[in-house]
A and B are shown apart, each in its own frame.
Chain A
Amino acid sequence: MVDLTQSFGISASGMKAQAMRLRHVAENVANVDTPGFRRKLTTFEAAAQGGDGMVRLGPDRLDPTDLPKIYAPGHPMAGADGYYAGSNVNIVVELADGREAQRSYEANLRMFDQSRQMARGLIDLLKR
């Protein structure tokens, strides 16, 4: 029973991490046309070395890829040569990342549900 209650916490930490990742994807997609925007990268790390198996997000990092130069002389941010720096978000990459986050979230949710049902089965034994 202790193991089952422990696995609730672990699955919940996984869901929380994947939800944050999905949030970063949403931020990146929303800013796909913002000049000078660098996409946010999501990093995962084990919460404690040799610890309880929980997962959490590491510090936010920005994608160091060069920003694309976009030619638009009439743009308010354009320089003397007519170019301005766009954002380095690639919408296809973001969509794939979002889909993967969703898949991992669902896997965690299923494990949470299964732990719950197993604990319920144990408690049902006492009802007789």
Chain B
Amino acid sequence: MFQQPEILATASALARHSSQRQSLVAENIANADTPGYRSRDLDDFAALFESGSGFDLRATRPSHRILAGGTAAPMRVIEAGGSMSPNGNDVSLEDEMLRAASIRQDHDLALAVYRASLGILRTSLGRV
């Protein structure tokens, strides 16, 4: 009956992507002094979007049903370190801060798009 509009699915995928990245960056910063720790990050959202594989729900059992525009993003964790310090740790606080700023921007963008799309939906339903 109700098919979720594509734009809402994309916006929520971006929000989910940035909150998972946020969790990884928080982990990197918490472990900035742990010997042997390697900095980690997620694949770029744009790359994930273009590959198209990121969002599709997968039916892994016969009982699974796929609704149009579903989102489940299996995201790949990549190593994202800078230069290595003598104790084997490659977290750079400056890089992490940069990442945090871009995460914040992505998340704000996703929420703004989601809110605006909801507004358009409401208008089309005749409520203001």
Contacts and interface: CB of A to CB of B under 8 A. Distances in A.
30 contacts: A3-B23, A4-B22, A6-B23, A7-B22, A7-B27, A10-B27, A14-B26, A14-B29, A14-B30, A18-B33, A43-B35, A44-B31, A44-B33, A44-B35, A46-B31, A46-B34, A46-B37, A55-B33, A103-B93, A104-B32, A104-B93, A111-B26, A111-B29, A114-B22, A114-B103, A114-B104, A115-B26, A117-B104, A118-B18, A122-B15
B22 A53 contact: no
Contacts of B103: 114
Interface of B: 15-16, 18-20, 22-27, 29-35, 37, 93, 96-97, 100, 103-104, 107-108, 111, 114-115, 118
A11 B107 contact: no
Contacts of B34: 44-46, 55
A5 B118 CA distance: 25
Using C-beta atoms within 8 Å of the partner chain, give the interface range for chain A: 35 or more
B101 to A, nearest CB: 9
A11 B29 contact: yes
Contacts of B111: 121-122, 124-125
Given A118-B107, A122-B15, A7 B115 contact: no
Interface of A: 1, 3-4, 6-7, 10-11, 13-14, 17-18, 21, 43-46, 53-55, 103-104, 107-108, 110-112, 114-115, 117-118, 121-122, 124-125, 128
